[in-house]
Amino acid sequence: MMNTKPLALLLLVPFVLSACKPAATPTATRLPPALTNTPLPTQTPPSSPTVAPGPTGTPAPTSTVTPPPTLSGSGGGIIAFLTFNPDNYRQSEIKFMNADGSAVTPLPNTSGAAAVAWSPDGKWLAFIVHHNDNDWSMYVVSADGSTLTRLTQGKLDHFPQWSPDGRQIAFSRNGNIWVMNFSAEPTPQVSDLRQLTTDPKEYASSPVWSPDGKQIAFASQVGDAHGVSAYNDPNTAEIFVMNADGANLHKLTDNQTIDITPGWSPDGKQIAFSSNRDGAFQVYVMDADGSNVRQLTTGDANNVGSAWSPDGTRIAFASDRDGQKYVYDIYLMDADGSHQTRLTTSPWDESSPVWKPAANASALSAGLAIEVPTGNPPTLDGVLSPGEWFSATQQEFTDGGDLYLMQNGGYLYLGIHENIEGLTTTSVFIEYDDKISVKHSSGSLGTAIFTHSNDGWLLIQSFQWSLYGVTSNTEADQQQREAFLEGNGWLANLGSMTAIQEIEYQIAMPDGPFRVAVAYLKPSNSDKAAWWPANLADDCRKIELLQANIPVNLDTPYLLQFAPETWATITPTSELAAYAFPVSIDLSQKYLFYFHGKIIEDQGIHAVSPDFGEYEYDAILEKLSGYGFVVISEQRSINADGMKYAERVVGQVAELLKAGVPAKNITVIGASKGAGIATSISYLLK
């Protein structure tokens, strides 16, 4: 949940094949210099990293500041990479290019760079400068090259990698994995250095965070300290994973070959890596648990790297297939290994590609990709009752509060247990189709809407308040809530309905992937606020917005700065997708509408009656389809208005008739409440 060049050396191998010396063994394969890692002597770590004002020693980044020309992102994004003089690996720098290989642009202040990483907000790049054998220092440079800061010095640091929220940097120091906090304000600085792996015999490198920030994968020479293998072959390295605090360390690969450069896919389901298990180094992909390994590249040439595009559809890597042996170029391929394309053609060695994060490259999701399971609809009473959210996926707010997410019948359900005592205000932010809706619950429910503009997000609808004081379970109050859901596409219990800081939302989902963020605040103490995802750093956290204190009059433009690219992305799923109303109408087909019983509204599509057993919804639809019908069926929302639902289906029937489908080829049937809906449709169509 995510390299210093001779060095002509097998990564993690405890011998050095220096660029200035003959190889220690004729069988060694030279990796791209940025992927090599010299075995390092054990040193006592300091309590915190040393911060210096700028680089010293030779080589060092230059002081010339010439902002690079604007890159368009053509080809689907922007890629940073390292370029090296193959005759002098100390002569190197970072460059940018579009994902189609165009507009190659050097980044100022990066002379001598190795092992580049991009911050999640796209504003900074971290890299290593190999000053001498006892000083591999870490720097950060702004994305325009104008600001350079040295973060560490006097240590052997390598392979920096930002956490998804941008607040930590993992890296390799003296052959172990370390983590330190990072802040860009007021100037880039680091603190709280922690060592995660502790075996001095290990040569751990290339740490990468899982997209949810909970785990770190890395490559390491295998040793006894891991408790998973007794061999310590210098020509062996494996991929490991551990929790972000160093706990639960375990091995993902076990081939007694060299497996290196792990890279997590944006959805967290896969890890790409490089291995020489079949001869030359090739790019592989495995599931995040180490299973289902697939080889993506082949041949006698070396192919190394695992840089996933922000949308997870492509992988950038380095290969020496089309040029001089061991002189690499950048290539791009689809995530299944197809359409391998060469991007760079320089005589210099070019490797270590890394994509600019999606927040600045217009890709769909730079934030967390969440799989939301199907579950039974809860009762929106402001109480997360035992078992009610059993099927949900659980997330955590920044203050330790709990967020539960599940979907059912086209609705997203959120259960929020806030870690703040007293009355709170809660806002759910939904971004879709260049609009953001803010769904606010406190003493009333209200919706504000913003649309994307050149200068930010423009308010086009201020909060419109409803349901003040509607907190009981009387029939009248329930009818008001149903009317609000019907008219606004969402519903929540009021913050005043419960004294235990629990809020439940029901939100109609868009047709495609959308982004979501959640924040809550104690109005009487603006210091007490929490949000999700953890990397949320935009105006979703703005106090006046969380207090719903925004203009009502829209005559004066009201702009906020949102970054939905950093929110969580949710893709609606439906087990009934095959039974949706058809996009194209086939006049030769017979169409059948099936309306389920009320138990499906109450419990979901896997409903079970204590008297009659399981409602075999799927089996019913499959059986009806087997009679030659195009079956149309969907799960209704809880307590759906039967007559209003019937009116909507009448419109669908009318659409079939208008297209030319004969009335005799259209059938409506149902069970229980569904039978009543079918009867109403027949009546309305007379």
Give the whole-number percent of the chain exceeding pLDDT 70. Answer: 83
Q: How confident is the model at residue 20 (pLDDT cuts 50, 70, 90)?
A: very low
The terminus-to-terminus CA distance of the chain in angstroms comes to 57
What is residue 67's DSSP assignment?
P
In sequence order, the 6+-apart residues with CB closer than 8 A to the CB of 262 are 2, 206, 208, 217, 218, 219, 239, 271, 272, 273, 306
Name the CA dihedral angle for 233, 234, 239, 245, rounded to a multiple of 10 degrees: 100
Calculate the CA 635 to chain-centre distance: 29
- The number of helices, as runs of H, and strands, as runs of E, in the chain is 6, 43
Structure confidence by residue, pLDDT tens digits, 361-412: 333 334 567 878 777 788 888 888 877 887 788 899 988 889 999 888 788 9
Q: Is 452 helix (H, G, I), strand (E, B) or coil?
A: strand
pLDDT in the model for residue 34: 55
CA distances for 466 relative to 88, 423, 424, 494, 519, angstroms: 70, 18, 17, 10, 20
Mean pLDDT lowest among 185-189, 329-333, 680-684: 185-189
Closest CA to 302 of 88, 11, 76: 11
* CA proximity to 514, closest of 562, 463, 565: 565
Query: Please, which residues have CB within 8 angstroms of residue 41's CB and are 6 or more apart in sequence?
Result: 174
Query: Which three-class secondary structure state does DSSP give residue 89?
Result: strand
Going 24 to 28 to 31 to 37, the CA torsion angle's sign is: negative
pLDDT at 527: 77
CB 240 within 8 A of CB 259: no
Tens-place pLDDT, residues 620-668: 999 999 999 999 998 786 677 899 889 989 988 998 999 999 999 999 9
Residue 229 contacts residue 236 (beta carbons within 8 Å): no
Residue 290: count of CB within 10 angstroms of its CB: 17
- Segment 404-428 shows an average pLDDT of 88
Hey, how many other C-beta atoms are within 10 angstroms of the C-beta on 477? 14
Q: Is 400 helix (H, G, I), strand (E, B) or coil?
A: coil
Check pLDDT > 50 for residue 53: no
* Dihedrals phi, psi of 626, to nearest 5 degrees: -65, -15
3-state secondary structure 126-150: EEEEEEECCEEEEEEEECCCCCEEE
Read off the pLDDT of residues 515-541 as tens digits, 9 standing for 90 and up: 999 999 888 777 788 999 987 878 999
Q: Strands across the sheet with 490-492, in order? A: 393-396, 402-408, 411-417, 502-508, 490-492
Sheet with 303-308, strands from edge to edge, namely 303-308, 314-319, 329-334, 341-342
Query: What is the CA angle 640-627-587, rounded to 5?
Result: 80
Q: 640 and 670 in contact (C-beta within 8 Å)?
A: no
117 Cβ contact partners less than 8 Å away, ≥ 6 residues apart: 125, 126, 127, 160, 161, 162, 169, 354
Average pLDDT of span 666-681: 96
Collapsing DSSP to helix, strand or coil, 654 comes out as helix
> Which range, of 36-50, 101-115, 591-605, averages the lowest pLDDT?
36-50
Higher pLDDT, 297 or 4: 297
Residue 419: both structure tokens together: 């870690």
Cα angle: 266, vertex 136, 201; to 5 degrees = 80
pLDDT at 383: 87
As a whole number of angstroms, the distance between CA 115 and CA 113 comes to: 7
Q: Say if CB 254 and CB 229 are below 8 A apart.
A: yes
Report long-range pairs for 417-422 (Cβ below 8 Å, ≥24 apart): 417/384, 417/501, 417/502, 418/501, 418/502, 418/503, 418/520, 418/530, 419/501, 419/530, 420/501, 420/520, 420/522, 420/528, 420/530, 421/501, 422/501, 422/522, 422/524
- Residues 64-97 have pLDDT tens digits of 344 444 566 666 789 999 999 988 878 999 999 9
CA–CA separation, 438 and 222 (whole Å): 50
Q: What is the pTM of this model?
A: 0.50
Kindly give the pairing relationship between strand 514-522 and strand 525-532: antiparallel
Q: What pLDDT does 419 receive?
A: 85
HSE-CB of 210 using CA atoms within 13 angstroms? 21
Give residue-wise pLDDT tens across range 172-182: 998 899 999 99
Residue 660: the pLDDT is: 95
